[in-house]
Structure 1
Amino acid sequence: MNAGFRRLADYLGSSYWFIPTFMAIAAVLLAGGMVSLDTVVGFGWMDRYPWLHASRPDGARQLLSSVGGSMITVAGTVFSVTIAAVVYASGQYGPRLLTNFMRDRGNQVTLGTFIATFLYCLLVLRTIRSAEEADGYSFVPNLALLVGVALALCSIAVLIYFIHHVPSKIHINSVIEDVGDRLLRGIGKRFPRSVGIAPEDDAAVAATIPATFRDDADAITGEQRRIVTARDTGYIQFLDDDVVLRVAKQRDLVLRLQYQPGDFVHVGRALVEVWPPERCDDDCADDLREAFSVGSQRSALQDLRFLVDELVEIAARALSPGVNDPFTAVTCLDWLSAALSDLAGRSLPSHLRVDDDGTLRVITHPVSFASLMDRSFGALAQYSAADMVASLRYLDALGEVSLDCDAPGRLATIRTHADRLEELAGEALTGFNLARIRTRAGELRAALGQPDYKRRLRDGTAWLAGTA
């Protein structure tokens, strides 16, 4: 899918106006259709239903005026409540979480329902004619009037839903769950899928890397490449991997991507390096640029680090001296441990990507378990170390992640983070609190040093009943 189209779709999904506008247009079409249907069927059909009776022009006007006026008033109230919730969330959880509230479907549909009902009543109202106004012929669109009453009832139901939805949506556990759930789904979608196909033999494919892309290339060889530069400044929001691979295969190129989604790029910076350079003309360079979508802010479309950063930001704010809410940080650590546990059980893709024929086409940034651990647990270590509750849960979360680790290198990464937390806690805590953290860290290291570490972690009394 084109990168620009994906960016547009993400923008529309996170905008507060798109769905209400769509519903307003639908209301205009519905009003016209119902009035036209009324002119065809008349009101004789109502005689078959004793509980229905045709409305008079004055009564119909009063009904639609009351419904329409109340709907636009409630729509203003809904908008005010939403803005208040957004301001609260921005100050409490961080400005980067604003998009989560703006893209909430419940808020968008609620506003759209009230605006659509108002427009429907307004347009139907103007078609009502009394006998004095139409030379002895009155017209009341009774069928359209019934639809207006039905929309009013739906609006009441939506209002009840909205009153429940807003407080539950801004609850901190709901905010964290939303981010954590998207992170888990993002991990499931991205790994091991990536640009092209992972090679079966990394060493054999690595031997085919062009000399200009090797670390030991000399000054002359290192310049034998074409650099495709960026034309926009901002964050890379989406990378169309299908376009990148297609261009590389069609022109028999090897591409090295210098940036990945979530990175900030400046005009003139190298987006892609191409070898051999003579096969990449200006049209080829433009095609490669089109594969990158650049915007003013980061997006979670392909940037899992952005979701990790959101959880880290919430936890860091919660552990700040001005807030001092370690249990919010504990919730963030729980979701981070779930995400890293899921990642620990997966095979991360190679940074060398080949086409269907097994030919090297794209060299990407390597994705490692250690880098994502540094991004999450590494970033939170300095904040967690100053609080005993958060520190104990931090170590428990590392133990949870290790239950899904089989690679010795990943277990070594977990031990490194446990040692780092213990070191930082030694600088921030004293006495009983520090002793508990050192005891728990020692138990974790001792368990990880044994071949049956998973059983020891599951059965050890230190890991039963959760956290502190």
Structure 2
Amino acid sequence: MSALPNLHAVRAKWDAVRTSLWFLPAILGATALPLVYAARHFDTRSGSAPAQDQAGWIYRGGPDQAREIVATILSAIGTMTSLVFSITMVVLTLAAGQFGPRLVRNFMARRQTQLVLGVFVLTILYALLLLSALGQDQQEGRFPSVTVAVALAALCLGLLVAFIHHLATSIMSESLIEAVGSELDEGVAALDEAKTEEPAEGELPQDFGQRAAFFGTDGFGYVQSVEIDQILKAARQADVVIGLDLRAGNFTIANGRAFGIYPADRAYPDLVKEIRAAIMLGPHRTPIQDLEFPIRHLVEIAVRALSPGINDPYTAVSVIHRLSAAWPELMRRAVPTGIYHDADGILRLIGPSIDNASLMNAAFSQIRQAGASMPLVLIHLLKSFRSMAPCTRNAAQRDALAAEITAVVEDARREIANRADLRDVESHAERAWRALERENPDPSTADE
């Protein structure tokens, strides 16, 4: 077993932590105790310092008055905190109903929300600890600790106003689409640059099904990450070929068929254990190694917007635009082929692959199906395909784009009864075809 933690597994766990509402508030709340200790230290020093050497803005009074002020601050901030939590829950409920429950993750991941909750928690804990630390036997004097409490209360008031403004803008569909789109951009940027040489080739031995030993995972859930380097290292040490039946984003069940080891007589228990350890499972999908994760979140926004209950085609159009904006960079990146060799160039691992056609299908097919009877949606799909055509770099990308254009035209001819609307869709399809043909002088498919 590898002594070092799996890099992708750590990233998946960190993603779960950073998208939680407790992480940043817990960190800020933990600073309350040292802050009170430091403030009380300055209280002691201020009590012994000459009055002319002390700043006039530091609170001056007796311990009873100081306790009353801190108690008032504690009561007020407690009320404000309950208000912040209530507003947050209302927004999360609205987001889950309009955009889908899976999009709640993006609201929870916002640093602004976590920061506001964290500062409120810090202020409450600071006031509680300070209230217990202010003794009755102290003499009248200056209390920097009370001044800090007042400053924290003023900060909370300012953050409350900013928080309400932030929530008002974050519930807008464009803001959410951009937040999810940024996550898609990060996933695309994590891919390697496309190379000029031929992609890696390889296939499993012809008798793999007969001579391999097959194993499943210990539990069930979504594959959150697969540590490819760890599997390659283990396969090289055992001198085996591994056929992996799943990738990040897939759902697997316990003791199903997750991977095979060829030949079967080298499928040692330690090897099986290490391969299982390289596959991290969880109750939900994560964007780590799963490029379809943010794509499907954007698609969910569009499909819900096109549902009869919401009927908001312009939100779907915004999603189409945001998806197409990610495609120029994606087309110049190399998508994982699922074929991996060790340092000596020997084939060691073959797993599921993704390609441009499957990604394009995941991005646009459901939107096309949901908006097949809406000329507005189909026209904007075709406009996006037309703008994406000059970005294609190889025949596979052009074929995938051509298939999407063909599908839009077929759906339009089947669903749109108005001849004028249909001609408008077909006109935009012809423009998309011409843009694609300029990139491919000898296209293998044609619409007309």
Distance 1:37 1:51, change over 3 A: closer
Matched, 1:90 2:96: yes
Task: Output aligned runs, 1:21-420, within 5 Å.
Answer: 21-39=26-44, 42-44=47-49, 47-49=52-54, 51-52=56-57, 54-130=60-136, 134=137, 137-138=138-139, 142-192=143-193, 206=202, 209-211=203-205, 214=206, 217=207, 222-420=209-407
**Number of aligned pairs?**
434
> For 2:309, what is the secondary structure of its paired residue?
coil
- Once structures 1 and 2 are overlaid, which stretch shifts more, 235-244 or 345-354? 345-354
> Is residue 341–residue 404 contact of structure 1 (8 Å, CA) maintained in 2?
yes
Shift of 1:391: 1.1
Identity fraction in percent: 30
Q: Deviations over 1:266-315 (max 9, x none)?
A: 01112221223333311221111111111111112221112111111111
Pick closer, same or farther for the CA change 1:330–1:260 going to 2, 3 Å: same
CA-based RMSD of the aligned residues comes to: 2.3
Distance 2:398 2:61 in 1: 76
Q: Is the 8 A contact 2:386 2:431 kept in 1?
A: no
Gapped runs of 5+ residues in structure 2? 442-448
1:71 CA displacement:
0.9
The answer to whether the 8 A contact 2:386-2:435 is kept is no
Deviation, 1:379, is 2.2
Q: What residue number does 1:433 align with?
A: 421
Paired residue secondary structure (2:334): coil
CA distance in 1, matches of 2:440, 2:311: 38
Q: 1:444 aligns with which of 432, 439, 445?
A: 432
Which residue identity is paired with 2:99?
Y
Cα separation, partners in 2 of 1:143 and 1:447, compared to 1, 3 Å: closer
Structure 1 window deviating more from structure 2 (161-170 vs 355-364): it is 355-364
TM superposition score normalised by structure 1: 0.86
SS of equivalent residue, structure 2 residue 340: strand
CA contact (8 A) 1:385 1:422 kept: no
Deviates more, 1:267-276 or 1:241-250: 241-250
Is 2:25–2:119's contact at 8 Å kept on the other side of the alignment? yes
Task: Please state how far the C-alpha of 1:124 moved relative to its aligned partner.
Answer: 0.8
Partner of 2:445: none
Q: 1:368 Cα shift? A: 0.9
Mapped partners of 1:341, 1:296: distance in 2: 33
- Corresponding residue SS for 1:42: helix
1:452: Cα distance to partner?
7.7
Alpha-carbon shift at residue 83 of structure 1 (Å): 0.3
Asked whether the 8 Å contact 1:262–1:298 carries over to 2, the reply is: yes
Q: Deviations over 1:162-193 (max 9, x none)?
A: 01111111110010001111101101103459
Once residues 257 and 99 of structure 2 are traced to their aligned partners in structure 1, the CA distance between those partners, rounded to angstroms, is 35
The answer to whether the Cα contact below 8 Å between 1:370 and 1:413 also exists between their aligned partners in 2 is: yes
Query: How far is 1:149 from its partner?
Result: 2.1
Asked whether the equivalents of residues 315 and 332 of structure 1 are also in contact (C-alpha less than 8 Å), the reply is: yes
Q: 1:199 touches 1:358 (CA, 8 Å); kept in 2?
A: no
Distance (Å, rounded) in 2 between the aligned partners of 1:45 and 1:189: 60
Paired amino acid for 1:87: T
| Secondary structure, counterpart of 2:187 in structure 1 | helix
Cα 1:352/1:290, change in 2 over 3 Å: same
**Residues 225-260 of structure 1: CA distance to partner in whole angstroms, max 9, x if unpaired?**
122311111111122223222222333332222101
Quickly say closer, same or farther: Cα 1:210–1:383, change in 2 above 3 A. closer
Once the two structures are TM-superposed, the CA of residue 150 in structure 1 deviates from its matched residue by 2.1
* Counterparts of 2:199 and 2:301, CA distance in 1: 39
- Aligned residues of 1:318 and 1:328 also touching (Cα < 8 A): yes
- TM-score (normalizing by structure 2): 0.90
**In the alignment, what sits opposite 2:19?**
14
Q: CA deviation at 1:41?
A: 5.5
Q: Deviations over 1:402-447 (max 9, x none)?
A: 1200323322221221121111112221222111001111222234
CA contact (8 A) 1:384 1:394 kept: no
Helix, strand or coil at the partner of 1:261:
coil
Do the aligned partners of 1:85 and 1:170 also contact (CA within 8 Å) in 2? yes
- The 10-residue stretch of structure 1 (223-232 or 108-117) with the greater mean CA deviation from structure 2: 223-232
SS in structure 1 at match of 2:248: coil
Quick one: structure 1 residues 8 and 46, their matched pair in 2 at CA, closer, same or farther if it must change by over 3 Å? farther
User: Are the structure 2 counterparts of residues 52 and 446 from structure 1 closer, same or farther at C-alpha, using a change threshold of 3 Å?
Assistant: closer
Greater alpha carbon shift after TM alignment, 324-333 vs 295-304: 295-304
- SS state at 2:422 partner: helix
Contact 1:353–1:362 (CA under 8 A) maintained in structure 2: yes
Query: By how many angstroms is 1:126 displaced?
Result: 1.6
Quick one: distance in 2 between partners of 1:449 and 1:202? Answer: 25
Instruction: Give the direction of change, closer, same or farther, for the CA distance of 1:444–1:19 in structure 2 (3 Å limit).
Output: same
Output the CA distance in 2 between the equivalents of 1:59 and 1:35: 16
Give, as a single letter, the amino acid of the residue that structure 2 aligns with 1:150.
A
2:302 maps to amino acid = A
Contact 1:75 1:114 in 2 (8 A): yes
Query: Within 2, Cα distance between the matches of 1:396 and 1:164?
Result: 34
